[in-house]
Chains A and B, each alone.
Chain A
Amino acid sequence: MTLASITGLVAASRPKIFTLLEQATEKITISPYVTHVFVRGSLASGRADRMSDLDFVAGVADEHFRDFHEALDTFMTTEFNAILPGWRDTIVNTMGGIGYVYLVENDGKLHQLDFYLVPASRADDVPAHTTRACLLYAKEYDPGCDATLRLEIGRYIAQTGQRPRTSGDLLVELLVLLQMVYKRVRRGQQFSAYGEWVMARETVRDLVRTSLVPTSPNWGWYRLEEELAVTPIGRACGRSLHALLLLQPPTSGADLDAILERCLHIAEMAAPATVAEMADAVASYRAYLDLS
């Protein structure tokens, strides 16, 4: 066997995430206003495996940041086969921008693609916040001195981060978190699995609270039982939510399937229109994760 043929075998066996990385970089950098592209996480530190997600950071010229952000879901759906809108990432480090998590189909498999968008004027700060590899650095980009624009974008980013989550946002968050928990379990990352499993159940709670007691002055678990106890639907949701809290994280596809079913049942009681609206996406999610 020659070295060339070994190289060929290595290339044929490389994790598909690298193909997705190439495609993503190529597509994103079509825009002349994308000034920086970093890849983060396991891909940047050489720890990538076949279940790794793709962590992307794109710097976008300040004057186009808002348009880019508003077009991101359409871009990800159209170009990357995202099966759900982006989940506004609440786990990622703060790096001066806004992060989203997408579940995208590539070559018949579902991948997690984390897309962090940062104004170009802040992109040089990204390396200080994360392990990263730089794929594009537009030296010719002049961040400009328009302090007003920078302030405006800063406010826009802050407002986006504070925007209340809708039941649709929360259902997307739940689906993203559940597949993350399952991935952690399969990798043997029990602590991370535990953390995300706690988050997934809090997301179900928030979905119930947002849908059934939207005007409540309380948040989290505080007084939720009392607030739900006012109606039969609320009491049924409360009982199902309590039962969910007693479950361990999924360790098999069958477990994940059963947990997803329970979560969707609660979501359907709390926000039936939202679940109906996402029925096709949930069906595809199940198919890609090989659930029934």
Chain B
Amino acid sequence: MLLQDVRPANLADQVGRVCVLDNAVLDRVRHEALTVPNDWVAEYGEFQSGGWWTLSLFNATGDPSDVAIGDCEAVATSLLERMPATRALLDSLGLRYMWVRLARLAPNSFLWEHRDYGELSEREHYRLHIPLQTNRSAGLVLGGAKVYLAVGHLWRLVPTNAHGACNLLGPDRIHLILDCYGNDGFDKLAGHAELLDGDAIMLPSASGTELDCHVDDAVKLARLGYHDTAERSLLRLFYRYAMPEGRIYDLLVEMHTRLGQPDAAGAWQRRKALMLGTTDENGDQR
């Protein structure tokens, strides 16, 4: 029996291209992104596999290593001052920034299924991506679809929908991530998003039997002593199969239950609630 395959009525409402960017400008920005930054910061450890590194270009303090986003009147960071082409591009877009980050996702690295913005105010927030370097194994997964964010466009993502990001094989994926407040500039620039042929593929559904087999394999790995590997092998399935929201975390609960580890199973249940934004970091309902 196939599991319910929940697909969005209109994927482009969740993620899509909003406008073309000048290739020569992007070449300069990419050159800066690959040569200027160092001391990348690993933040949001609960949400990622390791391998997701960021630095801020606009934020609350001007310190590029402050990368945990929040509502603020953004100022340029000392890193952005050393990246003039990037500064010029960001200034040219007419956006009101809350936070802008340079994000590097290493090969075999993941942002697990989650929702963003739960900790922010009620103001309107929007997220835009500018891919600088990518590969076909990298993408955003949401609503059972894997979307490849090609270089050359500005992309919009609605991050309050459950989503995950992957770079399965590499090399590094590098994006500028722009969190903005609503303004006329945003409406003019990014009011409409579209997906072209080849941008998105629908992931196949997994049967219950198939998922059981994967849990069996993970249990075997854990029994061999490779507990972290077992967990990650299951979490990676989110990027392979279309699954109902949160199902991936249920597989972790199943694995630990079968291993007779109720504490670990409970921890994954709590983590599921945190990742999907139904509770805050203290475990309180939102």
Contacts and interface: CB of A to CB of B under 8 A. Distances in A.
Contacts of A67: 220, 223-224
B229 A105 contact: no
B262 to A, nearest CB: 23
Contact of B169 (A31, A64, A68, A284): A284
A247 B171 CA distance: 30
B44 interface: no
Interface of B: 107-108, 135-137, 168-172, 217, 220-221, 223-226, 229, 232-233, 236
A283 B221 contact: no
A280 B137 contact: yes
B169 A281 contact: yes
A71 B224 contact: yes
A30 interface: yes
Contact of B108 (A31, A33, A81, A283): A81
Contacts of B223: 67
A149 interface: no
What are the 7 closest A-B residue pairs judged by CB atoms, nearest first?
A: A31-B225, A284-B169, A81-B108, A280-B137, A105-B107, A280-B136, A83-B169
A32 B223 CA distance: 10
Contacts of B220: 67, 70-71
Contacts of A31: 224-226
What is the predominant secondary structure among interface residues of chain B facing chain A? loop
Interface in A20-56: 30-33
Nearest to B133: A287
Contact of B232 (A78, A83, A287): A78
A75 interface: yes
Interface in A83-139: 83, 105, 108
Interface residues of A, number: 25
Given A78-B233, A81-B108, A284 B225 contact: no
Contact of B217 (A70, A279, A280, A288): A70
B83 to A, nearest CB: 21
B105 to A, nearest CB: 13
Given A67-B223, A71-B224, 17 more contacts: A31-B224, A32-B225, A33-B224, A67-B220, A67-B224, A70-B217, A71-B220, A74-B217, A78-B236, A81-B108, A81-B169, A81-B170, A105-B169, A108-B171, A281-B137, A284-B170, A287-B171
